[in-house]
Structure 1
Amino acid sequence: MTDVSMVLEATGVLAGAGGLGYVKVRAPRVYWSLVGLPVTWGRFTFTYRSTMDVCGLTVQPSRMRAFLARNVARREVLPVPPKVRRVRGTSTGLRVTLRLPAGLEPADLMAASERLRHAWGVHSVTIAETKPGYVELRMTGYDVLRQVRLPRGARPEGLAVPVALREDGTAFVRDYRQVPMALTLGANSSGKSVYQRNLIKGLARLPVALVGIDCKRGVEHSAYAPRLSALATTPDDSASLLDVLVGEMESRFDLLSAHGVSDMWDLPERLRPVPVVVLVDEVAELFLISSKKDEERRERIVTALIRLAQMARAVGIYLEVCGQRFGSELGKGATMLRAQLTGRVVHRVNDKQTAEMGLADVAPDAVMAAGLIPAERPGTAVAADSSGGWAKIRTPHTSRDEAKVVCRKFAHLVPELPSLDRFRPHVPAEAPQTGPSLVKPRPVTE
């Protein structure tokens, strides 16, 4: 009987271990909530002071504190680590709010993030400054980019669209009010098109005008035609469309001037024009020329793009430029245009120079991370902006058909813009689905 009970106990232990291993692989959020979070929280609580000390994240106490410790408490004066203000567990990791003592800055913790990650046994540690003197340690318990799932509360709102998941488990939001112009780079099969699909899928739900420029004869943007206010599929059409957009920009500036404001969002809602998002699929096709006669068209396109990038933010016209490579070799004006595109998203690239083109002027530290993106993880990218901060992100897979269905569903949100009517893409009517025949077959009798 004893032998049987021992066998049953051993079998139960093995089954439990196997179940935990299965959950760890298939349901990492569940495993983290049940096992990883309590273990990490305890390790953090018991080793916090010693970890901060060996990582060089402590400072000497104030004179008053040292005097009280030496003469009142009769104990040794020890260095002071950042004070823990709040510890909060999430479904992906641990959030710790710290109050920095005098002598420490957020950059000190950022430099030690790898040492903290290994000390507490978590997948990653990122530092975010919440307000002066306070930082938040965002610990991620597992690789959240392996199976991308956006947080439940991540929904398009205003002019902000959640398009990807950050490495710290939060949503990467493309907010056109914060970052009006952006550049997305990536090699073939890197996930650049999937990123744009997620963006269009989110923008289609918002009251904005979408303008597509796809010089690959519309093979990408033609699927989104029901939701587009305008579509150009050749360089000549693109030049004409950009001229119209510049004219629209100038008329909106006249409106602002007439009402004595400098930003479209300062106008009363009844007078406010609809925001316009211009999506350029492959920017190199607008710059390259095959003969001398194309130079005039190229100059028109480049001049219009630069003018829009420099001034159109105030009147609610935003640029979203995509390409495989965007450097000075494209010709005159390329570098000037790139400098106006504040937001940068760089997917896997074929060479280091392309990563430098996208990131070196805004976040030099991110160049190396962009060069290490593996080919077997499409959709992974490095996102940065002019603030110098950057984060690794990954876009959830969205098929072309999914984005197409959303665009057709929200086709009624296409705004009235008379200046773009002649560029409105033709949308063929859906053919009715064939159903069962209502005619009863009758046998032929002789």
Structure 2
Amino acid sequence: MTTNTFLGLVLVAVVAALVLRRLRPAWYWLSVGVTLAMVRIVVRYASVMDACGLTVPPSRLRLTLARMTNRPAPQSRPPRILRMRPTRTGLVLRLKLQPGQDAFDFAASTDRLRHSFAMHGVSSREVKSGVVELRMTGYDVLARVQMPAKIQREGLRIPVALREDGEVFYRDYQEVPHALNLGATKSGKSVYQRHLVKELAAQHVALVGIDCKQGVELAPLARRFSALADNPDTAADLLEALVERMAETYQVIRREQRISADTPDAEITADLWGLPEDLRPVPVVLLVDEVAELALYSNPAEKKRRERIVTALVRLVQLGRAAGIYVEICGQRFGAELGDGITMLRAQLTGRVSHRVNDEASAKMAFADISPDAVLATTQIPVERPGMAVAGDSTGGWVRIRTPFTTMRQAVNACTTHAHRTPVLEGLESFRPVLPALAPVEIPAPAARPATA
């Protein structure tokens, strides 16, 4: 092979790698990028840690031994690498901290580490005392959301989005029973809700919806809903019926406790999930689309209706978890200007997801009582990335996520496929949507073959 031929092949390979990096960043990362990144980290590790101030000076014993033996003074020690594991989106670096180091120093240095190691993103978390995990992403995983082929689905823990570190973001209703979903028009809020319904359709759960936009968002998915309200008057009656169902569920739990000296500890329960399966009522997920329509009023009659709605919602979010009733509230704004009781209602919504908003005040409604950094991240969501959001909870942690685009047809197909799972809720039969029977699909008969002689 001549020199010109070799240089030509190298040039073709470089051009192919650049094109692959542009068009298929995931393929580029798995084929070329992960190897280059690992070599870059190994070569630069000590100098980067020293430049970022993540090293510790040598101990007095080492300095004394160096002076006694007339040797050069030892250098500062970086944290020890315990493990470096490649993933489909980046690298996971687990470090053993040196004495005197703090996990907060690594969290504060993630942006400098991202530049130094030439990675797209770096996040830090403390695994246990003295061990920190740096999760690095090699490319922008939120530019084109692709959920992993193998996703763990377990009960009411469902995947709804992809995190900026490449991990799957789960909505776990048993851990975070109630949540708030904010977002301006065309921000992806409705797609998030649509994807939520699509994933819940396959689970053993009853879906109850309130859509005061005459049902335009939830009515197409009605085959999987046990109850649906499309106006504030019906919504008030539906919410009060859910409160009555919650009280009846508590009566079942109270009746089945049978606390006595010979009852095993594992059989004593204070919520729905401790009941035997044959006695356990089906859990309910309540989805409220555009909550502001439930809180607005223009005359005394509508004001009384609003008080009924807000009172019922507050009762459900305060007491519904143990009865297996979970609330998902969506809206463009959710502040004190909606009237009395709204702040109390918002305080009970542990999970917070905020898509792009029109002003900083809307972001503060979601995250001001959780994390100021999450407020800033919410205001920086670009318009050209619908579906991108900031998710947080009451612990103060937050992360950027993006929901995979789900068409209405995909959600409708999922609800139609699992329509047989729709339970009939006692006391809510009058709110069950009335739908025509599905038309049979006619399969054309195969063309007759010509007779052969």
After superposition, the C-alpha distances for 1:177-204 in whole angstroms (9 at most, x for unaligned) are 1111100100111000111111111110
After superposition, the C-alpha distances for 1:379-421 in whole angstroms (9 at most, x for unaligned) are 0111111111111111111000100000010111112321221
**Aligned match of 2:348:** 340
Cα contact 1:156–1:202 (8 A) shared by 2: no
**Aligned match of 1:363:** 371
Q: Is 2:396 the counterpart of 1:388? A: yes
C-alpha separation between the residues in 2 aligned to 1:70 and 1:153?
A: 58
Q: Structure 1 residues 256 and 169, CA, compared in 2 at 3 Å: closer, same or farther?
A: same
Q: Quote how far apart the aligned CAs of 1:78 are.
A: 3.5
Q: Structure 1 residues 434 and 269, CA, compared in 2 at 3 Å: closer, same or farther?
A: closer
**Aligned match of 1:160:** 157
Q: Is 2:292 the counterpart of 1:284? A: yes
Cα contact 1:156–1:206 (8 A) shared by 2: no
Greater CA deviation, 14-23 or 35-44?
14-23
**Aligned match of 1:404:** 412
Greater CA deviation, 251-260 or 111-120?
251-260
C-alpha separation between the residues in 1 aligned to 2:398 and 2:230?
A: 33
Gaps of 5+ in 2: 258-268, 447-453
SS at match of 1:24: helix
C-alpha separation between the residues in 2 aligned to 1:364 and 1:128?
A: 19
Greater CA deviation, 166-175 or 254-263?
254-263
Alignment partner of 1:429 out of 415, 437, 443:
437
SS at match of 2:214: coil
C-alpha separation between the residues in 1 aligned to 2:278 and 2:100?
A: 52
Greater CA deviation, 427-436 or 223-232?
427-436
Q: Structure 1 residues 72 and 417, CA, compared in 2 at 3 Å: closer, same or farther?
A: farther
Cα contact 1:182–1:343 (8 A) shared by 2: yes
C-alpha separation between the residues in 1 aligned to 2:275 and 2:70?
A: 63
Q: Is 2:35 the counterpart of 1:38? A: yes
Query: Partner letter of residue 427 of structure 1?
Result: L
**Aligned match of 1:181:** 178
C-alpha separation between the residues in 2 aligned to 1:436 and 1:249?
A: 50
Aligned length: 436
**Aligned match of 1:444:** none
Query: Partner letter of residue 108 of structure 1?
Result: D
Q: Structure 1 residues 139 and 72, CA, compared in 2 at 3 Å: closer, same or farther?
A: farther
C-alpha separation between the residues in 2 aligned to 1:58 and 1:359?
A: 34
SS at match of 2:84: strand
SS at match of 2:237: helix
After superposition, the C-alpha distances for 1:89-128 in whole angstroms (9 at most, x for unaligned) are 1111000111223333322111110000000000000112
Q: Quote how far apart the aligned CAs of 1:84 are.
A: 1.4
Q: Structure 1 residues 427 and 42, CA, compared in 2 at 3 Å: closer, same or farther?
A: same
Query: Partner letter of residue 127 of structure 1?
Result: S
The alignment yields a C-alpha RMSD, in angstroms, of: 2.2
C-alpha separation between the residues in 2 aligned to 1:231 and 1:70?
A: 80
C-alpha separation between the residues in 1 aligned to 2:403 and 2:231?
A: 29
Cα contact 1:181–1:341 (8 A) shared by 2: yes
Percentage of identical aligned residues: 53
**Aligned match of 1:417:** 425
C-alpha separation between the residues in 1 aligned to 2:6 and 2:129?
A: 55
Q: Is 2:118 the counterpart of 1:110? A: no
Query: Partner letter of residue 279 of structure 2?
Result: L
C-alpha separation between the residues in 2 aligned to 1:244 and 1:63?
A: 72
Q: Quote how far apart the aligned CAs of 1:71 are.
A: 5.8
Q: Quote how far apart the aligned CAs of 1:131 are.
A: 2.6
Query: Partner letter of residue 263 of structure 1?
Result: D
C-alpha separation between the residues in 1 aligned to 2:64 and 2:277?
A: 62
Q: Quote how far apart the aligned CAs of 1:62 are.
A: 5.5
Alignment partner of 2:217 out of 215, 220, 238:
220
SS at match of 2:209: strand
**Aligned match of 2:203:** 206
**Aligned match of 1:239:** 236
**Aligned match of 1:128:** 125
Query: Partner letter of residue 248 of structure 1?
Result: R
Alignment partner of 1:309 out of 298, 304, 317:
317
**Aligned match of 1:259:** 256
**Aligned match of 2:449:** none
Q: Quote how far apart the aligned CAs of 1:257 are.
A: 2.1
Normalising by structure 1, what TM-score?
0.92
SS at match of 1:313: coil
**Aligned match of 1:119:** 116
Alignment partner of 2:98 out of 91, 98, 101:
101
Q: Quote how far apart the aligned CAs of 1:271 are.
A: 2.3
**Aligned match of 2:142:** 145
Greater CA deviation, 250-259 or 192-201?
250-259
C-alpha separation between the residues in 2 aligned to 1:65 and 1:13?
A: 48
C-alpha separation between the residues in 2 aligned to 1:73 and 1:124?
A: 44
Q: Structure 1 residues 67 and 88, CA, compared in 2 at 3 Å: closer, same or farther?
A: farther
Q: Quote how far apart the aligned CAs of 1:363 are.
A: 1.9
Cα contact 1:156–1:205 (8 A) shared by 2: no
